Amino acid sequence: MNNLNEVWSKRFTHYMNEVQKYMRFVFTGHLAIVLVFVIGAVGYQYSEWLKVVNASFPAEWIIALIIGFILAFSRPVTLLREPDQVYLLPLESKMSLYFKKALTWTFWSQIGLVSIVYIVAIPLLNTVTELSSAQIWTVLIIIILLKYLNVQIEFHYRYANRGHNIGVDKITRAVLSILTVQSILTARFSFVILFIVLLLIYDWALVRRVKEQPIPYEHFVKLEQNRMMGFYRFANYFTDVPHLRGSIRRRSWLNFVYSIVPYSQKSTQNYLVYRTFIRTDDHFYLWVRLTAISSIVVLLVNIPIVTWIVVAALSFATTIQLKYALLSSGDFRMDRLYPVVKSQRKQAVQKVLRLFMVIQAIIVTLCAVGQPLFFVLAIILIVISEVTFMMTKDPSEDN
């Protein structure tokens, strides 16, 4: 495998197959329906807001801030693996070819998000600014150029500094990118040229340092492992990822929750499930993320029927995934050594989910205060959760 083109091609093919394998579980029919409702509702709210937006609205700065921060996050996708730290050492002088292909893929895989965000902002620019169509589309070309520069600079910075103080680099690039976008939106082209030149000089200085440094395989391998682990954790919310290594955190600030569990043998499973849910990142952050999504939707969308459908769907998703996760654990637990009735675990899981779904209902309802019939959201969320728990199959019955 001395041909680095072949190395990249095989790894890229494996990577794409891995992504497609799990993404087909993510974008299912149910999620597609929810996305259609959310996108349609947000689009309607956006169009209605554009009719009444004030001409003095600082669209240039807001768009520049959002675009600039997105541009600053340009983590390279290298697809390097741990054995490469040894086996690719003899090819270090030729690795520039491999990294060129990696950065090309990084650029094309990340340009979509920033382009979509800017295109969505075009109606706002047409409403509150006097930019012509040619100027608006010229901005998109500059944004694409800025994305290319950010990808190159972040890679060279990580190469030269082994990833140390990467936050300083991101802030620097974010500021320059924000100022560049804001300058072109306000037709200050001399400043646009100045900021782009500064980015080019910054990249040139890093390239000079790169030539003096050996390849930081360890940093790039760790970066790639973290990136893929993040993808697997996301996919695990929709389907089981066998090789996912979950993490545990104590979260001592939530210790007060355990005090609601009585100190008795009958409460053994209650205590165990509470601790499992709170300390396991996959379970806890699943609840946090879906609660946050529900809250954001009801904050942005002012159409009751749409918010009811979205909240119901997310309540169903939260309950069924947490029920499966807490009841189907194959790990050895100490409660198996004690005479604890098996049905107690299901009852304990139901109590835990009931508590945290009530908390979710309170948070979502508070975010919807001011909307007509906002209290219906809490009823829908709790009812859907209870029905889902009762009607779905217990995964422990298969064991």
Model pLDDT, residue 329: 60
Using CA atoms, how far apart are residues 180 and 170, in angstroms rounded to an integer? Answer: 15
- Calculate the average pLDDT of the chain: 86
CB atoms under 10 Å from CB of 264, counted, come to: 9
Task: Please say if the pLDDT value at position 396 is more than 80.
Answer: no
Token pair of 69, please?
A: 């921060």
253 pLDDT tier (thresholds 50, 70, 90) = confident
Task: Please say if the pLDDT value at position 397 is more than 70.
Answer: no
pLDDT greater at residue 197 or residue 265: 197
67 pLDDT tier (thresholds 50, 70, 90) = very high
Length of the chain: 399
Amino acid at 117: V
Is 0.85 topped by the overall pTM? Answer: no
End-to-end CA distance of the chain: 44
pLDDT in tens, 321-375: 888 888 876 555 555 556 566 677 888 888 889 999 999 999 999 998 878 888 8
pLDDT in tens, 82-130: 998 888 888 888 899 999 999 999 999 999 999 999 999 999 999 998 8
**pLDDT, mean of residues 207-229:** 92
DSSP structural state of residue 174 = H
Ranges 61-75, 183-197, 288-302: which has the least confidence: 288-302
Query: In terms of Cα–Cα distance, which of 104, 109, 106, 120 is closest to 66?
Result: 120
Model pLDDT, residue 331: 57
307 pLDDT tier (thresholds 50, 70, 90) = confident
- The CA distances from residue 53 to 38, 43, 48, 62, 123, in Å, are 22, 15, 9, 14, 11
In the chain, the percentage of residues whose pLDDT exceeds 90 is 44
**pLDDT, mean of residues 303-321:** 86
Model pLDDT, residue 210: 92
26 pLDDT tier (thresholds 50, 70, 90) = confident
Model pLDDT, residue 114: 95
For 248, phi then psi, to 5°, come to -120, 135
Task: Please say if the pLDDT value at position 377 is more than 80.
Answer: yes
Model pLDDT, residue 356: 92
Token pair of 132, please?
A: 């012509």
Task: Please say if the pLDDT value at position 47 is more than 60.
Answer: yes
Task: Please say if the pLDDT value at position 141 is more than 90.
Answer: yes
Using CA atoms, how far apart are residues 16 and 25, in angstroms rounded to an integer? Answer: 15
DSSP structural state of residue 56 = T
**pLDDT, mean of residues 135-146:** 94
Contact 364, 298 (CB under 8 A): yes
pLDDT in tens, 148-197: 999 999 999 999 999 899 999 999 999 999 999 999 999 898 999 999 99
Model pLDDT, residue 28: 67
Contact 249, 285 (CB under 8 A): no
